[in-house]
A = this chain, B = another copy of it.
């Protein structure tokens, strides 16, 4: 727990922020202090609600001078507890919500940190453009949050993570100075790319106040299909085939297992079995193209060839938007559908695509040995090698018993990931939850370099001090 904040700091903060710019009202604070799945309960002496970048600079400047730590929060949708203060000043970006510009010639939107991802999508659509970052939480998740956590999602295969979608940033650095790096250039080779450090820094190197984000054209054709597969090996072979045949037009390639489909059918209303038979694995594939009819043609050819080659057991191409949405609903419910099944150990890992099937095999063998009867629900963005690997308690087992063994079980999974050259946090970040675990797998050389960078930019370690190394 952080040391108490001196009273004079609080009065200076109140003075610069004005009446609407702060709160100490427990009711106002409560929703920002509880992580949305109830895993972290925080505490703060003061909620700063800056309206402008200058407000943010004033807050950070006062805190820097006094050595008072700050935790920054966007939409409070993070999954690793990085946004929940434990005694620090809480800086919310919720009032930084202007869309400053949208230029279809530059294919750019300039949005402040508190703008929700859903608002970015709406603004882009009004100009026949698209921001290809989709998250289940997009109604709440904010620009500042997705930048600071380098958010991923379902379109990374084609468009990359948030890092690839940022053209420029404006940020308040830990010393309270405003860095205006809000460029909208596709090329700029004039020294180290400072924005790359802030992207994914989880708020430890400053407060992102606005971002220039890349937009893309709306696609003229889109084909969505579900394929039933005999094995995860076949999924990887099908992915390779799809990427080769469709020349980079594969936008999503998501994997689910039969147990995950069963959970969804059992626990989520309105779900339908996507294919007639039962298959050990399912791939949800989406191909898009600017050329009318092209995505559909590519999908038909891909699936026909894969069926003939025995790579696919069965497949269905969505004939309507409703069918496509039903396929996606099954995928998006893979996590919610587990809830009624009891305690689970969740992992957000990535491995090289070529190792996905090996990972699934090795991890499952290890889990079955370690926790006999456990139910493994693996799904995710297999096109990026990103697996959400969830290990549920045995059917009818005891939640508390299972939960008590989580750390030990996760360690086994993470060790396998590390041995295969993977990452123990593919898209969720480290936050308060995974930093210690990450330190086990990072080389000391790298950790020393990262700490030196943090020390150089935030010598008093006031920004999100509980987060990262």
Residues of chain B within 8 A (CB-CB) of A450 are: 191-192, 194
Measured between C-beta atoms, what is the minimum distance from A422 to chain B in Å? 7
Measured between C-beta atoms, what is the minimum distance from A167 to chain B in Å? 9
- Chain B CB count within 10 A is highest, among A104, A288, A423, A445, for A445
A442 CB-CB contact with B under 8 Å:
yes
A178 CB-CB contact with B under 8 Å:
yes
A465 CB-CB contact with B under 8 Å:
no
A398 CB-CB contact with B under 8 Å:
no
Residues of chain B within 8 A (CB-CB) of A422 are: 185
**Is the beta-carbon distance between A246 and B106 smaller than 8 angstroms?**
no
A136 CB-CB contact with B under 8 Å:
no
Distance, CA A281 to CA B128, complexed state (A) = 28
B-contacting residues, A423-468, CB 8 Å: 423-430, 434, 438, 441-443, 445-446, 449-450, 452-457, 468
Residues of chain B within 8 A (CB-CB) of A425 are: 188-190
Taking Cβ atoms with an 8 Å cutoff, the residues of A that contact B are 103-108, 128, 149-150, 152, 156-157, 160-161, 163-164, 173, 177-181, 183-194, 196-197, 199-201, 205, 216-220, 236, 240, 243-249, 288-291, 294, 297-298, 350-354, 381, 383-386, 421-430, 434, 438, 441-443, 445-446, 449-450, 452-457, 468-469
**Is the beta-carbon distance between A192 and B104 smaller than 8 angstroms?**
no
**Is the beta-carbon distance between B105 and A185 smaller than 8 angstroms?**
no
* Residues A351 and B197 in contact in the complex (CB < 8 Å), given A450-B191, A468-B191: no
Distance, CA A218 to CA B243, complexed state (A) = 10
Residues of chain B within 8 A (CB-CB) of A201 are: 192
Measured between C-beta atoms, what is the minimum distance from A146 to chain B in Å? 12
